[in-house]
Structure 1
Amino acid sequence: MSGLDEAAIRRELARILDSRAFDASSRNRHFLSYIVEETLAGRADRIKAYAIATLVFGRQADFDPQVDSIVRIEAGRLRRALERFYLMAGSGEMVRISIPRGSYVPSFEVGREAPSRTDVPVAGRSGPAILVRPFDEEGDHSAYPSFTRGFTRQVIVGLTRYTQLLVFGAETAMSPEPHGGSLDPDYVVTGGTCVSGDRFTADVLLTDARTGRCVWGGLFTHDLDPAAIATARDEVASAVVRSLAQPYGALYAHKAPEVEGKPVRSLTAYDCVIRFYQYWRTFDRRMFAMLREDLEDAIRREPCFADAYACLSLLLADGYRYGYVAGDERAGCLARALTLGRRAVDLAPLSSHSHHALGMAYWFGGDVPSAVAALETGLHLNPNDTDIMAELGVRYANLANWERAVPLLEGSYMRNPAQPSTYRIGLALWHLWHGRFEAALSEARKVDAPGVVYGYAAEAVAAAELGLWHDAATAVRALRAIRPDYLLHAKADLTQRNLHPRLVELVTAGLAKAAGASAPPAMTCAS
């Protein structure tokens, strides 16, 4: 407390307790007042778990802190509430109150007023910035003293693999002039871990740093084998990362409604990436032209944002493969997709999304080995990226490499049930190959891409093989509504898409059978 005025500390305490940014229960507000006043009165040595439990929390005189961990748990919550308060409200009269870990005695420090959010923008930022606070320990961690620290580190490492994010740990946030100026996070990740018997539990909160609103929360559990403690820790950390950062995860879900309401000219490059993922769910043709224009504008305005290049590359590859561009433009569209994919990798060589884009451009350009290598590289860089996991699974399914395809596809949906249904076409092909037509029909019906023929094609083939002629005819009509002449060119199209020859024959024969079911009676007899 050297150099600090007691009156200034009490004014800071009052500022905290009166602020809406201090999100703490009435009990923890009393807790904070008690430990501050005891310290100012020179009685810091009396601030023990027993005194807090009996004088603040109303526990009986027989309270045993070894049995009841209420004080430790509430101290963790109070510590997080203070950290978030200073993140939101900044320092007052250059005084900062904190509770060091491992102690209940508050610390009073000379604060350093951070610049306002608009004073020092983070140079080159496109995606959101995320601050990961150290996770609190609840329960007895004495058997695993570094477990929670390692868990926090693994969450940070996992998030950094999504290269569109700016990820900061608490040490970075507290260092002088982090990232060359104000940290200015968009989101804060906090939480706690609990080791109890043979179970490990982690609770995680994602908070909007500007409003203080908790926008997502998750509870994760895992069996705990002392011989494989690091494996359990890393698997739960990966689950947390996927829930937060993967496409259609918590960050996307919070941002998407805001982006939908923005005027086109006010979109940032990251907003355009969000819109791309909205399109990517169903490959909605109506979004293609506008999204293409937005992404072209985004890379002009933010020429170092790799994700925008990757999204535009994937979009142009779609223009080629789904016929969203005129016939005379298709070749140039694919060539540009390859150039953009390479540029994305140059800008962000550690980004799985960049390698995803490059792999798709190679695939539709007919360079299958390079496509598979690019997708494998992307998955190696970010094993939590379920989009690239599923994409690689579909490519292996096209090649009839079922040993590689099926675990990737099933694993991707297990890790991310919210990802696009279009990848299920790979599972439909797997079942068709093995004659499991009911399972193939079930998977094909899950494909939600109304403007793309391939889900309907798989559905028509499976229904025809099952003798469900009405269903087969309905699927063929839907297919013809998208591409009236597709049945005439199906074999060439599927071959160009690098499908295994047996798959090409299986699908084309099934489509012919389904087309017979959809033809008028006279045509059916003539055929």
Structure 2
Amino acid sequence: MMIKRIADTRARGVSEPFVREEVEQVLALLLASPLFAKSRRMGGLLRFLVEHDLQFANTPLTEHAIGIAVFRRDPVVYCTGDDPVVRVQVGRLRRKLATYYATLGQHDPVRLNVPAGSYRLAYERLKPNVRSQQHPVVQLQQFTCITHDGGDFTRGLCEELSCRLFESFEHTQTRGNHVLMNVPRSSIKALVPGRGRGRYSLEGSVRVEPARVRASVRLIDVDQGRIRWSEQFDRNRPYGIATQEDLAESICLSLTGYFAQGCNDG
């Protein structure tokens, strides 16, 4: 019931209430993003603001209370006029949220922000975008090893990347982004037909040395027959499972970041 009150009084243009699970999912998504995952202070502040709304929807939230709870200020001597830590960090949080929703989170159906002059979160549920229902289809091709050794490593890298991409694209599918299709290597014309869906082939090559690995990856626009995205990934370490996991994670983050930016079709 507390979450319903939050939603009814602050979300713009929506009547459907937010439930606890939905708010917690939004928080988890933000905290897992690169913008917040490496910033403990920002993550702690965001978590506190969300949890305060979940537990104390009708309790005022002051700068003094945040300074004590989040930034461990001594309540005996803490003076907000002399110590601007809360104002500074909440300002940074506003900017980080704006950056996130302009890039990785631009298709998120629920958004959080901290209105100017306030320390309470505002929640907004966006209206579905019809265009987002036309999910691009990505076909992962088996990478080629172009050095004498490394065939097993290359096949293992593709398996690892397949799992990472499936998890990532399945997650974003629920937010109206993209679908990953993993199929055996074949003619790229075998991709799901239909104009307007966006058909892509993810291809790559691998070179290995005793203490160095390089993976070159490119995303081919099947309908237009041109490269949309390309990047090289180097690791100065022996090739093995740990290197496969590291490379797959980097490739996945770069590719999903490209799609999150709207995959410019111009």
Scaled to the shorter chain, the TM-score interval is 0.3 to 0.5
Higher-RCO chain (CA-CA 8 Å, sequence separation at least 6): 2
Select the structure that is richer in helix: 1
Q: Computing the radius of gyration over CA atoms, which structure comes out larger, 1 or 2? A: 1
> If the length of structure 2 is used for normalisation, what is the TM-score?
0.40
Select the structure that is richer in strand: 2
